[in-house]
């Protein structure tokens, strides 16, 4: 996302509050991506449609179905996302821009064809008692989402941020705009059809934008020496599974869940707080885009230039200090932004829940989850720095700690009872973040050794 961050920074050169609001608004929308916009879209559609009592059952089934589509498609494509992102970055560094489209199409095929087979198998074996049209729409939407996650990787590197934001907004406006009339007439199938149409528009739009940015013939990279770093697949798989493992615990733990449609279950006591809390990391994501995806990248590039161009020891130390300061400033700004967001969420928890029509019984879990998703953003920031530093072992370690911690701590909180719900997610991220901050501080101090001496 550094490329789009540099483009957005030009807006700030106008030096006005309006320019600042515009830049951070675009940054929030771009960095949120289809994942958070999907959550916002299905919540908004549910809020608008639930006024009609006959729509209550279908809209709940729709929201749960889309939640599973998002979670499973993210986990399914997780091993591919970071793996191919690094490969494409190596191609661009090697000045093989014309090979990007070939690699990207390969990514889409690798994601969607196995995704289609996976969807057919799951629907055949586990959804036998559901309507045929529902199964077809679920399968199509799953394949579309697999393609969307892959294209989103390149979408966030585009310079045409306005077209990207318009694409997101058009797609989810279609989901909501078509969902209301289709849902009233056809129920669950109507809502799913609207979602499927919206994802198709987004998939095609992202594809067009990427091909405009990286035009060229379909050709394989000239140099085959560029490696695939399979440890990044492990990071992607572990992190995406870790994000959802607490939700799966609550969905399938008997005392916290209920059957919704087919094999799909939901946890009313947990789903509402956690998904509302995810919408509150948008301000932090905007700061993340500007500080760690832009300021840190500049400092990191300056450090690399000092090495490649044979800079003096003093120049190298100065560049190293700049990179350390950029990292500290970026993490601190993200912490301040999310800290203010958390305080506001705590102060207005009850009015917010009342406005959205939810019970006050969600308040404590919502507050735990707001802290948890803020800590998740911090972990994403730490991983991002480690990706640039190419310390893949550290990334694997932190992702696995998040995964194992969330699995174990959430299980413990389920045994302890409702007062502790949400603390498992929070606790796992707290442990991963504390360890990550300690390791990153030490690694940045030793960056010269890690750069020149470490055997990769």
187: left (phi over 0), alpha (psi -120 to 50) or beta: left
- Residue 372 to residue 349: CA distance in whole angstroms: 15
- For residue 399, is pLDDT > 50? yes
Residue pair 262/130 in contact by the 8 Å Cβ criterion:
yes
- Residue 316 to residue 5: CA distance in whole angstroms: 25
Task: Show the tokens assigned to 110.
Answer: 């690798």
**Once rounded to an integer, what is the mean pLDDT over residues 299-310?**
77
Which pLDDT belongs to residue 455? 46
- 87 pLDDT band, cuts 50/70/90, is confident
Exposure class string for 402-428: b at 16+ Cβ within 10 A, else e? bbbbbbebbeebbeeeeebbbbbbbbb
**Once rounded to an integer, what is the mean pLDDT over residues 418-425?**
93
pLDDT tens by residue, 90-149: 776 666 666 777 777 888 888 899 999 999 999 989 998 899 999 999 999 999 999 988
Candidates 28, 8, 1, 205; CA nearest to 85 is 1
Q: Would you tell me the crossing angle of helices 282-290 and 313-347 to the nearest 10 degrees? A: 170
- Residue 174 to residue 181: CA distance in whole angstroms: 11
> What is the residue-wise DSSP string for 387-398?
HHHT-HHHHHHH
**Which three-class secondary structure state does DSSP give residue 214?**
coil
DSSP state of 52: S
- Residue 404 to residue 242: CA distance in whole angstroms: 8
**Once rounded to an integer, what is the mean pLDDT over residues 295-305?**
77
- For residue 156, is pLDDT > 80? no
CA distances from 50 to 45, 64, 258 (A): 8, 14, 19
Residue pair 237/78 in contact by the 8 Å Cβ criterion:
yes
- Residue 279 to residue 193: CA distance in whole angstroms: 24
How many other C-beta atoms are found inside a 10 Å radius of the C-beta of residue 301?
Answer: 14
pLDDT tens by residue, 323-362: 888 888 888 888 888 899 899 999 998 888 887 777 787 8
Percent of the chain with pLDDT over 90: 33
Task: Show the tokens assigned to 431.
Answer: 């442990």
- Residue 184 to residue 28: CA distance in whole angstroms: 32
**Once rounded to an integer, what is the mean pLDDT over residues 162-181?**
83
Candidates 52, 72, 53; CA nearest to 64 is 72
Does pTM surpass 0.85? yes
Which pLDDT belongs to residue 2? 46
Which pLDDT belongs to residue 76? 93
Give pairs for 260-268: CB < 8 Å, separation 24+.
260/60, 260/61, 260/64, 261/61, 261/64, 261/65, 261/130, 261/134, 261/188, 262/126, 262/127, 262/129, 262/130, 263/126, 263/127, 264/64, 264/65, 264/68, 265/64, 266/60, 266/64, 266/67
Which pLDDT belongs to residue 72? 94
Which pLDDT belongs to residue 319? 80
Residue pair 62/215 in contact by the 8 Å Cβ criterion:
no
CA distances from 238 to 150, 281, 398 (A): 17, 21, 9
Which pLDDT belongs to residue 15? 58
The dihedral sign for the CA sequence 62, 283, 397, 82: positive
């Amino acid at each position: 996302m550094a490329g789009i961050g540099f483009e957005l920074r030009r807006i700030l050169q106008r030096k006005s509050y309006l320019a600042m609001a515009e830049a951070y608004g675009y940054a929030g929308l771009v960095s949120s991506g289809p994942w958070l916009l999907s959550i916002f879209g299905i919540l908004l559609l549910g809020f608008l449609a639930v006024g009609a009592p006959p729509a209550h059952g279908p809209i709940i089934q729709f929201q749960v179905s889309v939640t599973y589509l998002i979670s499973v498609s993210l986990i399914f494509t997780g091993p591919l996302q970071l793996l191919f992102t690094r490969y494409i970055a190596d191609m661009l560094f090697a000045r093989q821009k014309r090979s990007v489209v070939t690699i990207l199409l390969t990514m889409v095929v690798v994601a969607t064809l196995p995704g289609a087979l996976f969807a057919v198998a799951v629907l055949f074996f586990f959804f036998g008692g559901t309507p045929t049209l529902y199964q077809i729409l679920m399968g199509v939407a799953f394949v579309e989402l697999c393609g969307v996650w892959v294209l989103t990787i390149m979408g966030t590197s585009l310079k045409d941020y306005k077209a990207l934001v318009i694409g997101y907004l058009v797609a989810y406006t279609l989901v909501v705009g078509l969902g209301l009339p289709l849902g009233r007439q056809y129920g669950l199938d109507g809502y799913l059809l609207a979602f499927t149409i919206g994802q198709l528009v987004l998939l095609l739009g992202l594809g067009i934008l990427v091909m405009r940015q990286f035009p060229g013939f379909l050709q394989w990279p000239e140099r085959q020496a560029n490696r695939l770093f399979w440890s990044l697949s492990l990071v992607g798989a572990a992190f995406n599974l870790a994000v959802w493992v607490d939700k799966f615990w609550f969905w399938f733990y008997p005392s916290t869940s209920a059957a919704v449609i087919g094999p799909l279950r939901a946890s009313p006591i947990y789903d509402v707080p956690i998904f509302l809390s995810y919408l509150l990391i948008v301000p932090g994501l905007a700061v993340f885009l500007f500080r760690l995806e832009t300021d840190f990248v500049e400092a990191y590039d300056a450090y690399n230039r000092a090495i490649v161009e044979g800079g003096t020891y003093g120049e190298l130390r100065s560049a190293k200090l700049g990179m350390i300061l950029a990292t500290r400033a970026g993490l601190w700004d993200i912490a301040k932004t999310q800290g203010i967001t958390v305080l506001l969420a705590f102060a207005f928890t009850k009015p917010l829940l009342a406005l959205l029509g939810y019970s006050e019984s969600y308040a404590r879990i919502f507050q735990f989850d707001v802290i948890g998703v803020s800590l998740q953003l911090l972990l994403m920031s730490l991983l991002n720095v480690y990706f640039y530093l190419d310390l893949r072992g550290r990334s694997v370690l932190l992702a696995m700690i998040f995964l194992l911690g969330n699995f174990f701590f959430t299980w413990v909180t389920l045994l302890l009872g409702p007062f502790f719900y949400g603390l498992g997610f929070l606790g796992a991220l707290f442990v991963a973040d504390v360890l990550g901050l300690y390791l990153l501080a030490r690694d940045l101090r030793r960056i010269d050794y890690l750069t020149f001496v470490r055997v990769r």
